[in-house]
Amino acid sequence: MNTFPVMLGALCVFVIAYRYYSAFLAAKAVVLDNSRTTPGHVYEDGHNYVPSPKWVLFGHHFAAIAGAGPLVGPTLAAQFGFAPGFLWLLIGAVVAGCVQDFMVLVASIRHKGKSLADIARTEVSPFAGIVAMLAVLFILIVTLAGLGIVVVNALSNSPWGVFTIGMTIPIALCMGVYMFKSTPGVIKIAGPSAVGVVCLLASVIGGRWVAASSWATHLSFTGHEICLLMMAYGFIASVLPVWLLLEPRDYLSTYLKLGTIAVLILGVFIVHPNIKFPAITPFIHGGGPIIKGHLFPFLFVTIACGAISGFHSLVSSGTTPKMLDKETDARFIGYGAMMMEGLVGIVALIAAVSMHPGDYFAINTTPEVFQKLGLHTVNLELFSREVGEKLAGRTGGAVSLAVGMAQIFKGLPGMDKLMGYWYHYAIMFEALFILTTVDTGTRVARYVMQEILGKAYKPFANTAWLPGNLVSTALIVSAWGYLIYTGSISTIWPLFGTGNQLLATIALAVTTTFLINMGKARYAWVTAIPMTFVGVTTLTAAVLSIKTIFWPMAMKPGTHFQGLLDSILMTIFIIGVILVLFEAAKRCWKTLHGEPIPPEAFGPPDARKPAAHEPLPEHAEVPVGCC
C-alpha cells in the first residue's frame, strides 16, 4: 500500500476536527470568553506568570508536550502492524488527547493557573486533591525518566547531537533577553526568531564538522555521563525565570521540530514510499519480540503520547496557563498543539513501516531473538555502511525511527548520497525533540512538589521563593535521574507508558467533574467517553504489567530491587486512579442531584459572586473562526 493517500487522509481528518470539533468544544462546552482576564495578567510576576504572544506560547507548549512518546511509541507499536496504530493515533488524538489537553488548560485558566491536583481539590474533594497530587508526582517522575532514557540512548557517544543541543542553550538565553528585555514593555518576536533560527541551523550544520574534528573526543559521553549532564540542565532550566531559558528554547526548538515534520510530510508526498508491513501481524495475539502482550491493551499504552498523554495535562495546568494572553488562545494552543503531536505520531509510524519487517525487527531486537523469528534482512547491511554504524540490535525504537526518517529524506531529489547525514540528523532531532519535554516537565514537577511541601511549611507554596525552588527542583531531578541512571528502556518504558495513561484517566475524570459543576452536564460526554475507554485499557495493562513484567523481575536476584520498585510504583498508580475516579463519580452524582457544588469550584455564573470580568451566560455562544 502506498503512503500518499494515508498521509493525505490523516491531514484531512485533523483539519476537519480542528475546524469543527474544537470550535464546538470552545463555543458550547466551555464558552471561551476574552473578557475574562487570564492568570498571566492577574498574577504577572516576570518569573512564572508571564503573558505571552499566541505563537510564542504555542511553540513553548508544543515543545513541552512533544517528547519521546509520539516518536518511539508508534515505532515500537508497528510490531502489531500498520492498521491498529494508525487508527488509534488518528481517532485517539481527535476525541481523547486533544480534548484532554484543551479542557485541562481551560480548567487551569479558570483556577488561577493552578495544577491538576489543585483543580481536583477544588472541583472534586480535598481528599481527591491529596490523592491526585501524590499520584501526579509519582507518575510525573516516572514519565520524566521514560522521556529521559530515550535522550540518553540517542546522545550516547554522539558528539554531533551533543554539540547541536548544547548550543541551543546559549542561543535561547540570548533570545530570551532579546525578546523580553531589550525594549521595556515590548515583546519582540521577528528579530529574535530570525537570529535564533539562523544560529540553530548553523549549529546543526556545524555539528557534523565538530563530530569529524578533534573536538569529538571531548563531546563523546557515556550514557551515565549524559544522564548527569541532563540532570544539571533540568535543574538550571527549572530554577531560572521562565522567559530567560525555558520559553525561548522551547520556541526555538519548535522551528526545528515543525520544520523537520513538514519536510517529512513533504517527503512522504514526493517519495510516497510503500508500506512494507502487513495491516495486522500475528503478534496481535501476544508473544511479540518487542512487546510481549496482546494488542489489547498494550497497543494503547505503547503508543501513549501520540494519541493521549497524561503528561500533557500537567503542562496544560503547569507553565502554559500562567503564560496565556487571552482565553480564546486556549483552543489553538491546547487542541492545536496536541493535534500536531498526533500528526508527528503518524509520521513516525509511516517511517517505521516503510522499512522491511526484517530490517525493522533486526534493529529492535537482540540477535538471539531475531534468529528465532525466521525473518531475513533486506537493506540493513547497506544502511549500516551508509551511516557508518552497526545498526543491528540497537533496541528501543530511536535508531529504527532514525533509519526510517533518513530513508525518506534520502528519496528526495539530490539527497540519495546523504543517508549518513540524515541518519545522524534524525538522531539529533529525536534528542532535541524529547529534551524540551524534560525541562518543562521538571518545572511542572517542581510546582507540584512545592504544593506538597507547602502543606508542611507554607513558604514552599510560593513558587517565587528561591530556597523552595532550589530544594524542590533538587528532589525532583534526583528522583528521575536515579531511575534513568539505574534503569533501561525495557524496564522504564512499560512503567512510563502505563503511568502516563493512568494520569490521563485522572485528568479526564477531573475535567468531567469540572464540566458538570459548571452546569455543562449535557456536554460532559466529551471527556467521560474517552475517560472510560482509557481507564479500562490502562488499568488492565497496569495489572498485566505487574503480573508479567515487574513481579517476575522482582523474583530474579539481579533485578530484584528494580522489579520490586516498579511493582510498588505501579500499584500506587492503580490505587490512586481508582480513588480519584470514585471521588469524581461521587461528586458528579451529588451535583447532578441538586447538592451545592464545592465552595471553591468554578461553577456556573449564577453560582458565583459577580466578578470584575464576568463570563458570558451559559446560553451564550461565542463566534469561533477557523483559527
CA–CA separation, 493 and 514 (whole Å): 31
**pLDDT higher than 90, residue 522:** yes
Give the count of beta carbons closer than 10 Å to the beta carbon of residue 266.
Answer: 13
Cα 23 to chain centroid distance, Å, stands at 23
Q: Which three cell numbers stand for residue 184?
A: 521595556
**Contact call for residues 77 and 291 (beta carbons, < 8 A):** yes
Give the count of beta carbons closer than 10 Å to the beta carbon of residue 228.
Answer: 14
pLDDT in tens, 259-283: 888 888 999 999 888 999 999 999 9
Q: What are 2's strand-pairing partners?
A: 274
Three-state DSSP at 469 gives helix
**pLDDT higher than 90, residue 475:** yes
Three-state DSSP at 53 gives coil
pLDDT in tens, 397-452: 878 888 999 889 888 888 888 887 788 788 777 777 777 778 778 888 888 888 88
pLDDT for 437: 75
**How far is residue 250 from each of residues 176, 222, 446, measured CA to CA in Å?**
11, 26, 18
Go through 274-313 and write b for each residue having 16 or more CB atoms within 10 A of its CB, e for each that does not: ebbbeeebebbeeebbbbebbbebbbbbbbbbbbbbbbbb
**Contact call for residues 301 and 497 (beta carbons, < 8 A):** yes
CA–CA separation, 140 and 132 (whole Å): 11
pLDDT for 195: 86
With cut-offs at 50, 70 and 90, classify the pLDDT of residue 345: very high
**Contact call for residues 334 and 106 (beta carbons, < 8 A):** yes
**Contact call for residues 411 and 378 (beta carbons, < 8 A):** no
Cell 449564577, residue?
606
CA–CA separation, 166 and 555 (whole Å): 41
**pLDDT higher than 80, residue 568:** yes
pLDDT for 624: 42
Choose from 19-23, 38-42, 285-289, 615-619 the range with maximum mean pLDDT: 19-23
Average of per-residue pLDDT across 206-211: 82
Average of per-residue pLDDT across 176-197: 80
**Contact call for residues 388 and 406 (beta carbons, < 8 A):** no
**pLDDT higher than 90, residue 343:** yes
Give the count of beta carbons closer than 10 Å to the beta carbon of residue 388.
Answer: 10
Planar angle of CA 239, 243, 248, nearest 5 degrees: 110
CA–CA separation, 307 and 342 (whole Å): 6
- The class of domain 3-43+52-157+221-268+296-607 in CATH terms is mainly alpha
With cut-offs at 50, 70 and 90, classify the pLDDT of residue 608: low
CA–CA separation, 91 and 183 (whole Å): 45
Packing angle, helices 466-486 and 419-456, rounded to 10: 130
What lies within 8 Å, CB to CB, of 87 at 6+ separation is none
Q: Which three cell numbers stand for residue 490?
A: 525495557
pLDDT for 605: 65
Find out whether the peptide bond into 297 is cis, omega within 30 degrees of 0: yes
Three-state DSSP at 2 gives strand
**Contact call for residues 445 and 140 (beta carbons, < 8 A):** yes
**Contact call for residues 337 and 65 (beta carbons, < 8 A):** yes
**Contact call for residues 376 and 358 (beta carbons, < 8 A):** yes
User: Using CB atoms within 10 A of its CB, is residue 78 exposed (0-12), middle (13-18) or buried (19+)?
Assistant: buried
**How far is residue 461 from each of residues 119, 125, 131, 430, measured CA to CA in Å?**
15, 20, 18, 35
pLDDT in tens, 496-507: 788 889 999 999
With cut-offs at 50, 70 and 90, classify the pLDDT of residue 626: very low
CA–CA separation, 48 and 468 (whole Å): 14
- The percentage of residues in the chain with a pLDDT greater than 70, rounded to a whole number, is 95
**pLDDT higher than 90, residue 339:** yes
CA-based nearest residue to 245, from 177, 186, 198, 199: 177
Check residue 28 and report its DSSP letter: I
Three-state DSSP at 223 gives helix
Three-state DSSP at 395 gives coil
